[in-house]
Amino acid sequence: MPTVHSVTYQLLRRQGLSVVFGNPGSNELPFLKDFPEDFQYVLGLHEGVVVGMADGYALASGRPVLVNLHAAAGTGNAMGALTNAWYSHSPLVLTAGQQARSMIGVESMLANVDAPSLPRPLVKWSYEPACPEDVPRAISQAIHMANLPAKGPVYVSIPHDDWGREVAEDAALVTRRDVDHAGTPSDEQLAGLAERLNRASNPVLVLGPEVDAEHANALAVDLAERLRMPAWVAPSASRCPFPTRHACFRGVLPAAISGISGKLEGHDLILVIGAPVFRYHQYAPGRYLPEGAELIHLTSDAQEAARAPMGDALVGGLYATLNKLLPALRQSERAMPEPLPLPQPVPDEPGRLAPESVFDALDELAPKDAIFVKESTSTVTAFWQRVEMRQPDSYFFPAAGGLGFGLPAAVGVQLARPERQVIAVIGDGSANYAISALWSAAQYGVPVVFIILRNDTYGALRWFSRMLDAEDAPGLDVPGLDFCALARGYGVEAVCTDTRDAFESALRQALNATKPMLIEVPTTTIEP
């Protein structure tokens, strides 16, 4: 008879979850026993790195990914990384090994007490099967839940003695299920939306990560050109939904209430597509909307639509919605926006490069289809101004601002997209949260180019300390770090470059390599 183990692997194979990211403990060994040859196990040395790699893989592939964690402690270690996966709508299927069923009630070592409650509220669904026979069905439900809009992580706790249990033949029926989503606004809803857009005198477009996730970027360009709208990227941008050198592109909105209202002043209709309304950060109270402006929100996330403090919302698949909306829109006779001017070069200091100089070199030398994984929070504005991004899936940033995303996510993205070069641009403060991801890159030969911007301080915190009148706060500096030594210790070739010429030479070498390479760059400190 089939077992829970055999049916579950049939299910995973059928659903395309053959790459497993994990850090095993004793509770996970019965699941990993007889690991199939057509599956790949990617080991991370810490659960935060494991989830970060899986997050990057899921974002870049657009498919659910299996993560194998160790009981309560492993889940706890992963929670920081899980905040980013939750806000980026990553379809992670998290499984956690549980103690044997008869040992849970007495709270023996490695028993996960009230396991389904542990990862909430950072998962769409959390469950521990009531009996061994329910395990394959529960994992099937988890996969489909993770992949249905709005996508997101899910969690299943599995007692380790369940895997060897026999199940009935019809348990395999669950392996042949498909669950599809078909949510599209009605013709009447689309007609009403088109009418409001056609009669607007000065509309503006605000685009979010869901546009890029659905590869609706080209439709967003058509929409902007049809209505001659300036196109902003929603605040706290975790993906790039619009080509950054297009005439309509205006940059990334500030993550502040008054800042957004100021940038959108004068527009009578604000169309927000695929982003929350809005992800604020800096405390700068003011009017939610400029005087005389209306807002329309298109999203596949019903929770995002419901919690917005203003505007009207239409919930449905973005690609299908835009595809049906565009033919109903009249070509505007307004003038096209003028392209943003390219920024001027910034001089370097002796022994330290300006981050702007690093980004100018990246823009010149990186492949045109490069994927940038960014986690240097103090250099966000400069990066968006100076690095051209034109294709879908070109940029990934921690969606919740949780540090430790960049290094492992870059490894996961490169594993998912081997045909494109991944370049990780990481701050020195951020890098230390998940430095052991370098080991995984080296062990699996993942040819990411890691660029560490070392300014010896938490640059974004320095800026916030001035904003909050707390410049005397302790713990803002991180001196004494040697990332080349750290990288070599994990098996990654590394070089430190303190001039533009040296950096460009190292970058050319790294781009031509077939293995990971780290470039440490002493930099000046700039503001976000």
Per-residue pLDDT tens digits of the chain, which is 528 residues long: 899 999 999 999 999 999 999 999 999 999 999 999 999 999 999 999 999 999 999 999 999 999 999 999 999 999 999 999 999 999 999 999 999 999 999 999 988 999 999 999 999 999 999 999 999 999 999 999 999 999 999 999 999 999 999 999 999 999 999 998 888 899 999 999 999 999 999 999 999 999 999 999 999 999 999 999 999 999 999 999 999 999 999 999 999 999 999 999 999 999 999 999 999 988 888 999 999 999 999 999 999 999 999 999 999 999 999 999 999 999 999 999 999 999 999 999 999 999 999 999 999 999 999 999 999 998 999 999 999 999 999 999 999 988 999 999 999 999 999 999 999 999 999 999 999 999 999 999 999 999 999 987 765 656 566 666 667 667 667 777 999 999 999 999 999 999 999 999 999 999 999 999 999 999 998 877
Q: Are 265 and 286 in contact (CB under 8 A)?
A: no
Enumerate residues 6+ apart whose C-beta is below 8 A from 431: 375, 406, 407, 452, 483
CATH 3.40.50.970 assigned to domain 355-522? The reply is: yes
Exactly one of 281, 311, 388, 436 is catalytic; name it.
Answer: 281
CA distances from 30 to 27, 60, 69, 162, 311 (A): 7, 30, 13, 9, 51
Q: Could you tell me which CATH number the domain at 4-176 has?
A: 3.40.50.970
Q: For position 465, what pLDDT does the model report?
A: 60
Exactly one of 25, 44, 48, 427 is catalytic; name it.
Answer: 25
Q: Could you tell me which CATH number the domain at 187-328 has?
A: 3.40.50.1220
Is 281 one of the catalytic residues? yes
3-state secondary structure at position 104: helix
Q: Two tokens at 256? A: 């502040």
Exactly one of 70, 246, 267, 297 is catalytic; name it.
Answer: 70
Burial per residue of 241-253, b for 16 or more beta-carbon CB atoms within 10 angstroms, e otherwise: bbbbebbbbbbbb
Exactly one of 97, 274, 317, 401 is catalytic; name it.
Answer: 401
The CA distance from 384 to 240, in Å, is 9
Question: Which of 62, 14, 332 minimizes the C-alpha distance to 174?
Answer: 14
Is 28 one of the catalytic residues? yes
Exactly one of 5, 22, 47, 316 is catalytic; name it.
Answer: 47
Measured torsion, CA atoms of residues 368, 370, 373, 379, in degrees rounded to the nearest 10: -30
pLDDT digits (tens, 9 = 90+) for 482-502: 999 999 999 999 999 999 999
- Whose structure tokens read 């992963």? 78
Q: For position 461, what pLDDT does the model report?
A: 57
Is 26 one of the catalytic residues? yes
3-state secondary structure at position 31: helix
Domain boundaries, the chain: 4-176, 187-328, 355-522
What is the torsional sign of CA 146, 150, 153, 155?
negative
Question: How many other CB atoms are found less than 10 A from the CB of residue 374?
Answer: 28
Exactly one of 5, 22, 28, 210 is catalytic; name it.
Answer: 28
Same fold, 187-328 and 355-522: yes
Exactly one of 16, 18, 26, 183 is catalytic; name it.
Answer: 26
Question: Which of 55, 68, 52, 56 minimizes the C-alpha distance to 20?
Answer: 68
Is 25 one of the catalytic residues? yes
Question: Which of 256, 267, 220 minimizes the C-alpha distance to 240?
Answer: 220
